[in-house]
């Protein structure tokens, strides 16, 4: 049986993951209507991935005898200044999620819930990858600056990344 503290903390993370999905969906919609179809595809995939992360938490919590609860969510921002702004927000959000996963890990250790700590290792590693990916995209954008041809190529690269990415619901 999972402790109430760990259950509550996981429910907060379920909300964070669901909100992440919605944030990326809103970003994707903005990109799609702003001519950045590749970035939109990439962000739609990110949105799907965050939903899978949420589902993984829900199933874990329910399997451990807790009760996964979906909480009300605020609306994500509908507009962005430009594509650089979108990906600066992606990085900022991923850093927030990393901090939240680390808090959850700390709670699991304080509660001596080593099973949950072990479960969270996957998320800890995932966050390293997510932040690294966002940094890489931002580095490319900063290199090209406001050059439209450069941004076109970055958008095409994001389109290829999205096409290659497979979302595994069993992760």
d(Cα 11, Cα 4) in Å, to the nearest integer? 10
Binding site, annotated residues for Fe cation: 17, 50, 53, 94, 127
Binding site, annotated residues: 17, 50, 53, 94, 127
d(Cα 63, Cα 49) in Å, to the nearest integer? 21
């Amino acid at each position: 049986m999972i402790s109430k503290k760990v259950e509550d903390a996981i429910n907060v993370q379920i909300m964070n993951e669901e909100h992440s999905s919605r944030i990326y969906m809103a970003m994707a919609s903005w990109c799609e209507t702003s001519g950045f179809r590749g970035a939109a595809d990439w962000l739609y995939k990110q949105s799907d991935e965050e939903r899978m992360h949420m589902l993984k938490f829900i199933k874990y919590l329910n399997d451990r005898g807790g009760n996964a609860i979906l909480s009300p969510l605020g609306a994500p921002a509908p507009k962005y200044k430009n594509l650089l702004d979108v990906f600066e927000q992606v990085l900022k959000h991923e850093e927030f999620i990393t901090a939240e996963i680390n808090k959850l890990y700390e709670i699991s250790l304080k509660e001596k819930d080593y099973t949950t700590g072990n479960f969270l290792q996957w998320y800890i590693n995932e966050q390293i990858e997510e932040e690294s990916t966002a940094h890489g995209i931002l580095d490319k954008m900063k290199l090209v600056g406001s050059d439209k041809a450069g941004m076109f190529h970055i958008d095409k690269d994001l389109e290829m990344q999205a096409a290659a990415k497979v979302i595994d619901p069993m992760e």
